[in-house]
Structure 1
Amino acid sequence: MAVITQYVVVRDGVEKMTFTSKKEADAYDKMLDIADSLIPFIEQAECGLDEATIEKLAFYFATRKDDLSSLLKGNATEKAAEPVKKAAKKAEPQ
């Protein structure tokens, strides 16, 4: 019998993602924290977006934080124009 260590990211009692390394789990948890912080920021724009769209947008920005940071600094990169590969099955906006 094999023993497998798994790290589960849970938010509000809901399992979001399972990882085999603590480093990956911590990075995903941090990305979710960033997405949570972005939601009120995007809501302040008063663009008439519904809650689901705001959450998707916040999740997208959080998953592309390095590209977004580079763009905000005025550095347009080819990498920023590439589409995002989907992470894993359970990865979804909150």
Structure 2
Amino acid sequence: MAVEIKYVVVRNGEEKMTFASKKEADAYDKMLDMADQLTLLLAEAPVNLSEDAQEALALYLAGQKEALQQILKGGSLSVSETSDLSEVPQPDSKPARKPRKAEADAA
């Protein structure tokens, strides 16, 4: 019999992701903490974003921590860095994005 150790990131009683190493699980949990704080910041923004859009944007920005820090320090991104920006782990339980009102009206 084989024994496997799995590390599960749980938020509000809901399993978000499962990892094979504690280091990866801790990194993902930290990213979710950053996303929570960014969601609070985006809620105060002078831009009308739905709650789902705020959460999705916050999760994306938290996943792009290094690139975001570089930009905020006045730097710029190279072409290779911008091509890697879509590689953010996403929880399987995230609902599909709802169409915006303008998109729904146009359809």
TM (norm. structure 2) is 0.79
Q: Deviations 1:25-68 (Å, cap 9, x if unpaired)?
A: 00000000000000111111121111000000000000001100
Q: Which runs of 5+ in 1 are unaligned?
A: none
Q: Which runs of 5+ in 2 are unaligned?
A: 96-107
Superposition deviation, residue 85 in structure 1? 2.0
In 2, the alpha carbon distance for the partners of 1:51 and 1:77 equals 28
In 1, the alpha carbon distance for the partners of 2:81 and 2:94 equals 21
In 1, the alpha carbon distance for the partners of 2:90 and 2:5 equals 18
Task: State the percentage of identical aligned residues.
Answer: 47
CA RMSD in angstroms, aligned pairs only: 1.9
Higher RCO (C-alpha 8 Å, min separation 6): 1
**Alignment match, 1:29:** 29
Runs ≥4 residues deviating over 4 A:
none
Cα–Cα, structure 1 residues 15 and 36, in superposed 2: closer, same or farther, change >3 Å?
same
TM (norm. structure 1) is 0.89
